[in-house]
């Protein structure tokens, strides 16, 4: 899989708008598909096998590991998720471009296998904006939002390995950037150097932002493991 410029790795901290943009992209661009992962996670109401995920049991997933079927796989909160080579070839056989929605860890594990894949990291305009977006969902407890913020820090710490950066300060503008890159091959407007610089600014907010001190104080009353503190 050395020639892999038709593969786009899309990663972002939770709350940046990644899923909104990628789902809109596959609706509007007919020759772009999102790779469907295998998972051992239980199928939820409204989910379709082969649309949202390929749902399998742990034995079947282990057999795929043993056969080396996976481009990448990981265990997340006790459930397994993986991208198979067959899924990549299924999409390629139709002449379509491929989106892989994987986390930073996943990209780190596969970039030697697909070194020319185009990796895109979507950034929030600020850490405070990210927190506000997580809060405005109204679906997650403070504990869950805090853990998402911790995960965001871990992801930002590894973001420098990505090729392209998009700052989602305006959804329509950011979506247009992603669409033009994937469907037309147009470079994004933000240089890699400026993307990395903005990423560092976000990381510095974890240490300097006054508003975050209040959240840290609240987090002390939550059941959060030491590894989920900063």
What is the location of CATH 3.30.63.10 in the chain? Answer: 36-95
Q: What CATH topology corresponds to 36-95? A: Guanylate Kinase phosphate binding domain (3.30.63)
Tell me which of 90-99, 160-169, 218-227 is least confident.
218-227
Q: pLDDT confidence of 44, banded at 50, 70, 90? A: confident
Tell me which of 133-142, 143-152, 218-227 is least confident.
218-227
User: What gap in Å lies between CA 41 and CA 159, rounded to an integer?
Assistant: 27
Q: What CATH topology corresponds to 1-31+99-230? A: Rossmann fold (3.40.50)
Tell me what the pLDDT averaged over the chain comes to. 91
Provide Rg for the chain, Cα atoms. 18
Res. 180: pLDDT tops 80: yes
Of the candidates 2, 3, 6, 1, the one whose C-alpha atom is nearest the C-alpha of residue 183 is 6
Strand ranges, E, within 135-218: 164-167
> Rounded to two decimals, what is the model's pTM?
0.88
Backbone angles phi, psi at 166, to 5 degrees: -130, 125
In the Cβ-directed half-sphere of 196, how many Cα atoms lie within 13 Å?
A: 8
Q: What is the mean pLDDT of residues 8-36?
A: 95
What is the location of CATH 3.40.50.300 in the chain? Answer: 1-31+99-230
| The pLDDT of residue 222 | 63
């Amino acid at each position: 899989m050395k020639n892999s410029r038709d593969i786009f790795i899309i990663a972002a901290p939770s709350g940046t708008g990644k899923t909104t943009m990628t789902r809109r992209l596959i609706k509007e661009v007919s020759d772009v598909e999102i790779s469907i992962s295998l998972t051992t996670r239980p199928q939820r109401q409204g989910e379709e096998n082969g649309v949202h995920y390929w749902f399998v049991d742990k034995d079947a997933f282990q057999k795929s590991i043993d056969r080396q079927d996976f481009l990448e796989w990981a265990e997340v909160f006790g459930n397994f998720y993986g991208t198979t080579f067959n899924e990549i070839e299924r999409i390629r056989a139709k002449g379509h471009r491929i989106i892989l929605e994987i986390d930073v860890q996943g990209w780190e594990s596969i970039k030697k296998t697909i070194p020319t894949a185009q990796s895109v990291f979507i950034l929030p305009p600020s850490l405070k904006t990210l927190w506000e977006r997580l809060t405005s969902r109204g679906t997650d407890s403070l504990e869950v939002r805090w853990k998402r913020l911790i995960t965001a820090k871990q992801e930002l710490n590894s973001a420098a390995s990505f090729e392209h950066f998009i700052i989602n300060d305006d959804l329509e503008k950011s979506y247009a950037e992603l669409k033009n890159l994937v469907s037309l091959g147009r470079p994004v407007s933000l240089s890699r150097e400026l993307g990395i610089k903005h990423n560092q600014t976000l990381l510095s907010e974890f240490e300097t932002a006054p508003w975050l001190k209040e959240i840290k104080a609240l987090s002390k009353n939550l059941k959060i493991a030491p590894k989920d503190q900063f």
